[in-house]
Amino acid sequence: MKIRIFLAVFAFSIMVSCNKDKEILNTLNDYNLSMESGGYHFGDKLKLPEEVTKNAESIIISFGDKESADLTVDPKFFTLGENAVTFVIKKKGGETLTQDATINVFAKNPEAVLTYEIVREYPHDPENFVQGFQLEGNTIYESEGQLGQSRILKYTLGTTTPLAETPQAGDVFSEGCTIIGDKIYQLTWQNKKGFVYDKNSLKLLSEFDYPNVMGEGWGLTYDGKNLIASDGTKNIYFLDPANPSKMVRYIAVAGHTEAFDQLNELEFHNGFIYANVWQKPIILKIDPANGEVVGRIDFADIAKLHTKAADDVLNGITFKGDNMLITGKLWPKIYEVKIK
């Protein structure tokens, strides 16, 4: 009889403990879900529910390859945008509980809403599937995508006739491009390699592999020191021009209330990175130091004139002096706009 009573008490204590653990994890999960949309800013403290903290001897946030016992949103551990983490809770009784979560970190300051005025329009070949777009002097350098149609070409602004062009192999889908001195650098989408051309003749000079951290090639620009690349995620990568396979650093991008991924065509101008978001008629102005979106330009009124299907979207940013030139995939026009 005593053994039966003992077993019953033991089973009851196990059941109570399991229910308590479930309650702790459910409370933590509800809290995490409630904070996802509002997010955090750097320096904020995670105020976990009392049901969690009162039963915990320690709480560690694991990021996979690193961990922190500080519940402060510290840029040493967190990036802007989504952060996939695991809460590791060591209970006072010695048991360990784990709970996966997504912690969103947003920029502290609201981004400026920038407006524009159309200054001039230029013709653009509506057959060009624009992936990279660069102006130097009065010459446009353009990278065209699509398998079997990819190429690098250049033409005089105001015309559509190529001055020179170099086609890619049929299995290459070309992406962003940029100029460094007398060379053009060009990315490819899923081939995990880039090309370097002579700027004058567009003759292929060399190839390079991507850093392992870059899954794909999307946009490319140059800040006078580093190549700056996007890969369709929230991240922007700074690469060594002397060895583009080497990543120098990276930033993640987010605004005040929204995280951004699918960052695509890039342009560096007057200390800021400009990026369009794939299949959205917006261009973001990004602080290259920390990835914060400091400005946003809505080009919906222009884009709706040309975007009739999924592919013919805004995709092309460069500058003519302080005016921005924009175009899109399969668009018949290039627009010169004054940003206000």
The DSSP string of 138-199 is TEEEEEE-STTT-EEEEEEBTB-S-SEEEEPPTT--EEEEEEETTEEEEEESSSSEEEEEET
Distance CA 253, CA 261 (A): 8
Which pLDDT value is given to residue 20? 66
pLDDT in tens, 127-163: 999 999 999 999 999 999 999 999 999 999 999 999 9
Cβ neighbours of 86 (radius 10 Å): 14
Tell me the pLDDT tens digit for each residue of 30-66.
Answer: 888 888 888 999 999 998 888 888 888 889 999 988 9
Sheet holding 243-252, edge to edge: 220-222, 227-230, 235-240, 243-252
Q: What does the mean pLDDT of the chain come to?
A: 91
Is the Cβ–Cβ distance between 77 and 66 less than 8 Å?
A: yes
- Is the model's pLDDT at 13 over the cut of 50? no
What pLDDT shows up at residue 31? 82
Ramachandran region of residue 202, left (φ > 0), alpha (ψ -120 to 50) or beta? Answer: left
51 three-class SS: helix
Lowest mean pLDDT among 91-105, 204-218, 233-247: 91-105
pLDDT at 233: 92
E strand or H helix that includes residue 240? strand 235-240
Residue pLDDT, tens place only, 301-329 = 999 999 888 889 999 999 999 999 999 99
